[in-house]
Structure 1
Amino acid sequence: DLKDFCDCIEEEQTKTLNILTKKYSDISLLINETEHVIMETKSGKAKCMASYYKYWERKVFDSLIEMLQRSIQ
């Protein structure tokens, strides 16, 4: 019935959100590790790496927008 369908959709959305949250966290760790290797710091705020951070922030944002667009088509 409709309630079961809605429950199933909500469960899948929750699973997807959990996976994406984990992947986002992993990306943050990789970016900080890159800073550590290059700058020997792990602040996530190294000024000379600002363009690097901006690039990856934009890639993640664009991916989220694309995912949302696909989900509503």
Structure 2
Amino acid sequence: MKVEIKPLEKVSFTVKETAKIMSTGTDTIYALISSGDLRCMKLPTKTIPGFEIERFMRKALEDQINYTDILKRQTVAY
């Protein structure tokens, strides 16, 4: 019996990749992380799991959250 090995799907993304997925800039992603709205892991750089991106986007849509004001007030610390 031959065992088929499938390549792993990408499960986590860099800040730059997350910004591309969400059609925004890296400063916005850093601000969302800093505010606690988007969670990440530090491995050793900030890494965002795919399920977290989906959770954030779903919550923003369901709750009709406008992040514009939050992002204007946020001081980004990398």
More helix by share: 1
Q: TM-score, normalised by structure 1?
A: 0.25
Higher RCO (Cα < 8 Å, 6 or more apart): 2
Q: State TM-score, norm by structure 2.
A: 0.24
Q: Which has the higher strand share?
A: 2
Larger Rg over CA atoms:
1
